[in-house]
Chain A
Amino acid sequence: MSGADVTRVVEEAFREEWGRVVATLIRLTGDWDLAEECAQDAFAQAIARWPRDGVPRRPGAWLTTAARNRALDRLRRGTTEAARLRSVAAMPAGPDPEPVEEDVEEDVEEDHVPDDRLRLMFTCCHPALPLEAQVALTLRTLAGLTTAQIAAAFMVPETTMAQRLVRAKKKIRNAGIPYGVPPAHLLAERTAGVLGVLYVLFTEGYSASGGPSPARPELTAEAIRLARVLAGLMPGEPEAQGLLALMLLQDSRRVARFDAAGDIVTLEFQDRAQWDHDEIEEGLRLLDDALACRRPGPYQVQAAIAACHATALDPDDTDWPQIAGLYARLARLAPSPVVELNRAVAVAMADGPLAGLRLVDELRAGGALAGHHLLAATRADLLRRLGRTADAAQAYEEALALAPTDAERRYLARRRAETGGT
């Protein structure tokens, strides 16, 4: 195997195994920093040894054992409590008391390393941690992104992000946030928290909340990867399958959402041949499996809405009454003004712009979306379709002033010009 091939294999192993290695090491050592450092060492060892010795049959088990041995070594040299050392030394079946590197390979044959990633997810997404810390910690420990990469993704200075991670880990230790899957009476609520963090991650990648780039595909890819892990670890939780289905169905439009200049192409003008049909197929299959459990939830309903779009052959083929009904259902499951706004759009498509405008104006009077560019943009669009040009131009003006990204501002400016505004 060439050096380039091995590098590729190690990179792949890093993406696939990092979270698992870190999760197991945290369980064994109780020390998040030590776990990350030892995981890093294990991957460095792999880069050095795999070209010479060949890629092990089970890279994940090899890496976990190597990281475990490294932790043992570090704990022995340090002045650590005996209890912690014992728990690390006793790790897999057939423990190897000596941290001899040559023994790594032999251990692998016997090892059955349990998957600790679910515990890690629940701990990273504990409601006692601030949401932005939950997201950062998930990206660092489960996805293996560096602090610099996470800082860049959320457009904060690296020192700010480093501090956020340090504080979160300190709080986990000081406040006694448990490392484990919560008991039955907390499971539903905490699962919703984990799903929420993964969806925040996805939406931040799907529509960046600011800056020059309208989307960050590296974040959506990580979100999908983690949602896939979660769906695999919680096979009896239809909302986990529903979230993965939702992400895949939305992500299938990734390429078609922007034109060559990076401008937004709305759903009705997208080239549907550019949609990722493998993702659509997988999303629809997952959604069917989830719905078969007969335990609906907000992610399954949102995935069902995305599925209506994904299966329409062209814009006119879209089942808007069905979508409006699904939004009404979503509004009951997870009430929010943004859901109401989307429902208004669907109602306008199903029953005409006037019916939609009535709902939008109710929302506007309520004030919950004041300062949100999508409320003004939706209103502008409905006014334009009703032929109320002057009102539409004014609403576009309002939306332009509030839009967070360049791509959205260009889109709105184009629409305003078409309406006859200046």
Chain B
Amino acid sequence: MEWVLFSLLAVPLGTCLILMALPSWWDLRWRRWQVRHLDMVRAIALASAAAQFALALLVFVAYHFDDGGYRFELSLDWLRNVAFLGEKGISLHLAVDGITAPLILLTGIVIFTGVFISWNIEYRARDYFVLLFLLVSGVFGVFSSLDLFWFFFWYEVAVLPMYFLIGIWGSSTDFGTFVRTKEYGALKLVLYLVAGSVLIFIGIFAVFIESGLGTFDLPALGSVTYGETFQKAFFPFFMLGFGVLGGLWPFHTWSPDGHVAAPTAVSMLHAGVLMKLGALGILKVGMYLLPEGAQYWSPVLMTLGVIGALYGAVSALAQTDLKYMVGYSSVSHMGYVMMGLASMHQVGINGAVLQMFAHGVMTALMFAMVGAIYDQAHVRDMTIFGGLARKMPRHAAFWAVAGLSSLGLPGLAGFVAEVLIFIGVFKGGYPWAGALGILAAAITATYILRMLARAYFGPFNERWEHLQEMRLGEQFGGAVLIFFLALVGMWPFPFIERISASVERLPGISS
């Protein structure tokens, strides 16, 4: 079993190589049978995504949560005994704990459904899937790495393909007076995220030197107690550096622009999974290594999280473009995650991790639904739709489920996570923040319900007579996502047990 995490890296990377080796002019012919290049690419992508989903599910189910420790540990020596690196040096150290297990499952779900959603991509499909799987390998790498060097390595691997995925397959948005081009979105996203990693880089250097261990191994670095001034000085580097990817206000502006410009499956992956890398980084690197620094800075993180939650919700309220609305709602929901983390309370952090999962599934579903309507209508302006539920009943139903989960309806995943976060925030000593967070949830309800009313219900707009129900692939992908939303909403214990077992082990957490 120790190779399961390695396989999770090897499968997407291997798929990249296989797809790159597949010549674009080559159709498979055998007697009367003929398989087009495009179909081969799709088949390989689907098989690989299914394998990743199965492996991710295996990791999640087989993770024993009794003590919340690391499982499936694998350590391969990579670079050691040179210069400042000691005996342990840098090793490809993979393991999973109760916090990362749900996130690995989330990645598996989103890439699996993402391939179905990407079924209609024909332009340079091979290159598209190569970049998509490169991105996913980076995500799996971050979730399973226990070595700071590799953590950072995979972090950047996950960022890099975004430029091409958005720039080539993305879409531009015309606001009438100005246009937000896809190049703009792509460049803004990549530059913001790499700018964030500048701070992380510096933080890693400082921690390495301060520990004096000659290794980047996270558990080894975590066994050292760092000085108080050091912790206070360097926690912000991790908080802000990872915060950029986590959509932390005021560094979130790349997120709506980038997500809107990206093709559907990439938005799903990016908003659904990549933003969680940022939140996980704050938890797994920042709060784990520098608990006193986290304690000191938690009011700031809490404030930024609350502002993010409110600001994102209010901005979403102002959008008429469906995708921008979803983009800002991601900022808002990531604000809850930051609040949960900043509570420094066990319940709050449990909620934050569960919210990462819940928001990942939910936002993936939302982006999938936006993509489904955009592919047919070629516009995303909710004000010119109307009564679409008549033409696309399943589509409307899926939207409604995603929206209801987003506004925290009991029985769906969002509710459980948000309740835990708010309890944690109150218990952690921030009643004002909890109150404002609940206000943000109320605003969420407003914009979600208003969107549903405008676009899907009410009088039917004859202009959309030609619309049809969404493709079967989209229906299947959506159904898988809804299954997990409902599963977590009605039976959250498999998730919470795993998460809380590992959260308990974190230093400096009140319970």
A binds B: no
Binding site for A on B (CB under 8 A): none
